[in-house]
Amino acid sequence: MSSEAQMIGYGLLKTGTLVSFRIVEEKVLEAPDEAEFGLRLQLKFVPGEEDEEQDEHDAAQDTAEWGAFGFMFVLAVLSFAEAKPRNASVIEYEEKDEFRLADFIEGLRFVRGELHFDADYIRGRRVKTRIVVRSDGSVTLETIGRGKAALRWLEQQKGKKLMQLVGQ
């Protein structure tokens, strides 16, 4: 990745980690194979520490204006980082690969007043992630075949460390 693209990516990561949000609703999406279930999360941007006096609705709209791209980019990076190949996609898969700014731009769309990011397979990784941010600060995060991984990403985005077993 070019140094300019890296700088933009770092800026988006920084912005995305500043976004405060809460989970409003969680729904497991069933699949024919029980191990392949997905998740649909409804989120809402909320006032951060510096915006506590601001009305929640206004704060959510303001956050959507300055934080939507960064928020989506952070989730896309985390989704890509955990994604693994499936079936024939193993041919394109590289263990040490990074999510690129171009990957993000390629998945972005503006549809009926909403900002969408959709990723299916990226260089052999089965990403299967969709993010929709609306101008009112509401967000839908949907994954297919990723289990409850999206909940981990949101915890990481909030800066929480995840517990891991240490190898013996």
- 128-139 pLDDT per residue, tens: 999 999 999 999
Q: How confident is the model at residue 85 (pLDDT cuts 50, 70, 90)?
A: confident
DSSP 8-state code for residue 146: -
Residue type, 46: V
Residue 47 in this model has a pLDDT that exceeds 50: yes
Mean pLDDT to the nearest integer, 42-66? 85
Answer whether 0.85 is exceeded by the pTM. yes
Residue 89 in this model has a pLDDT that exceeds 70: no
Question: Which range has the worst mean pLDDT, 14-28, 83-97, 144-158?
Answer: 83-97
Q: How confident is the model at residue 55 (pLDDT cuts 50, 70, 90)?
A: confident
pLDDT of the residue at 76 = 97
Residue 56 in this model has a pLDDT that exceeds 80: yes
Measured at the CA of 15, the angle between CA 130 and CA 82, to 5 degrees, comes to 45
- Sign of the torsion angle spanned by Cα atoms 125, 71, 140, 156: positive
Q: Can you tell me which residue has the tokens 């279930």?
A: 37
DSSP 8-state code for residue 50: G
* 37 against 112, higher pLDDT: 112
